Amino acid sequence: MRRRMPKSLLVGAAITLAVVAAALLSWAWTPYPAEQVRIIARLRPPGPQHWLGTDHFGRDTLSMILVGARNSLAVAASAVLLGAAAGVPLGLAAAAWGRWGDELVARLGDLLFAFPAVLTAMLLTAVLGPGGTNAVLALAVFNAAVLARVTRGAAQQAWRREFVRAALALGRGPLSATLAHVLPNIAGTVIVQATILFAVAILNEAALSYLGLGIQPPSPSWGRMLGDAQTFLFTAPLQAVFPGAAIALTVLGLNLLGDGLRDWLDPRER
């Protein structure tokens, strides 16, 4: 059965693709080298030479935003993938092995959810030191907890379905039943959740970088650009607008994509 693709899916996919394209483009081309310092040209307003102006070291803002897209997407994607790698098997196991595993995952989830994600990340980066890799780890913890919970819920429902019961009755073990029947059945739910988490991860990475705990200079990051720009609100106000707009656009695209995917896979009106 083919369903019509929701508009949000198309728009979301288009925005996301554009951001990814910008990130890829930055490998090959940016108007200026993103890390090139030119003090003479600092805090320029947008103009023909620098379309989005320059920062306090005279670096080209557009170039920094392009490279920042790469960094932002890389951190967020790694954090989601790492979270999925830990969370999905955990959730599947919890659903497959019933009571005890279930209880354990639920309690672990309770514990982790009690800590706001930014707080967890702040404490972890205090332990590990700031930096891109550590930001990935810190954000992945939260993602793993969410994905474990979602996977567990979806998998439990799947276990109650007849074809899984039938497979078990036919002598399949829990592991084999999980791989053959449960996993394909819940993949859509997990992918939708992962897309939304991707968006959340972009936001959280930006918050960490804003606090100076994320990707480190000279490599540009949107959050840190905002942190730097806040110092120059009086002299170069627009510098505090562009990186935030880049974050908002990316997150908007991913959210639309997630919502659209959900509507497409499960067309009940919400």
Partner 1 sequence: MLAFLARRLLTLALTAWLATLLIFALLQLVPGDPALLMLGTAARPDTLAALRAQMGLDEPLPLRYLGWLGGLLRGDLGTSVTYARPVAGLVAERMAVTLPLAALALLLSTALAVPLGLLAAARHRRAGDWAVAGFGRLGISVPSFWVGILLILLFSVKLGWFRAGGFPGWGAGAGPALMALLLPAAALAIPEAAILARVTRSALLDALREDYARTARAKGLSGAAVLLRHVLPNALAPVVTVLGLQAAFLVGGAVVVENVFTLPGLGRLLYQAVGQRDLIVVQGIVVILVILVVLANAAVDIAYAALDPRPKVA
Partner 2 sequence: MPIRFPRLALAALLPAMMAVPAPAQEQPRSQQARTDLVLGMRLEPPHLDPTAGAAAAIDEVTYANLFEALTRIDADGKVVPGLAERWTVSGDGLTYRFTLREGARFHDGTAADSADVKFSLDRARAADSVNAQKAYFAAIDSVETPDPRTVVVKLSRPDGLFLFHMGTGDAAIVAPETAAANKQTPVGTGPFRFEGWTAGDRVVLVRNPDYDGPKPALERVTFRFIADPAAQVASLQAGDVDTFPQFDTYEALPQFKDDPRFTVTVGTSEGETILATNNGRKPFDDVRVRRALAHAIDPKMLIDGVLFGNGVAIGSHFPPHRDGYLDLTERYPYDVEKAKTLLAEAGYPDGFETVLKLPPPVYARRSGELIAAMLAEVGVRASIEPMEWAAWLEKVFRGKDYDLTVIAHTEPLDIDIYARPDYYFNYRSERFLALEEELNRTQDAARRKSLYGEQQKLLAEDAVNGFLFMLPVTTVQKAGVEGMWVNRPVQANDATAVRWKP
Binding site for partner 1 (CB under 8 A): 107, 110-111, 113-119, 122-124, 126-127, 129, 199, 203, 206-207, 210-211, 223, 226, 229-230, 233-234, 237, 240-241, 244, 247-249, 251-252, 255-256, 269-270
Only one residue has tokens 């036919």, namely 170
Q: Toward partner 2, which CB reaches closer, 173 or 218? A: 218
**CB under 5 to 8 A by kind: which of partner 1, partner 2, none does 231 bind?**
partner 2
Question: Torsion-angle region of residue 58: left (phi > 0), alpha (psi -120 to 50) or beta?
Answer: left
DSSP conformation letters of 28-41: H--SS-TT---GGG
Stretch that binds partner 2, among 7-15, 198-206, 210-218, 245-253 (CB under 8 A): 210-218
Among 20, 37, 118, 122, binds partner 2 (CB under 8 A): 37
Q: Is 170 in the site for partner 2 (CB under 8 A)?
A: no
37 Cβ neighbours under 8 A, 6+ residues apart: 57, 58, 59
Q: Toward partner 2, which CB reaches closer, 123 or 166? A: 123
Among 46, 216, 244, 264, binds partner 2 (CB under 8 A): 216
C-alpha distance from residue 148 to each of 60, 94, 120, 140, 155 (Å) = 42, 9, 17, 12, 10
C-alpha distance from residue 81 to each of 21, 54, 97, 164, 179 (Å) = 20, 34, 24, 27, 19
Q: Quick one: 85 exposed, middle or buried, by C-beta within 10 A (0-12, 13-18, 19+)?
A: middle
Among 11, 20, 56, 86, binds partner 2 (CB under 8 A): 56
| Residues found near partner 2 in the complex (CB under 8 A) | 35-37, 39, 42-43, 56-57, 126, 129-131, 212, 216-218, 230-235
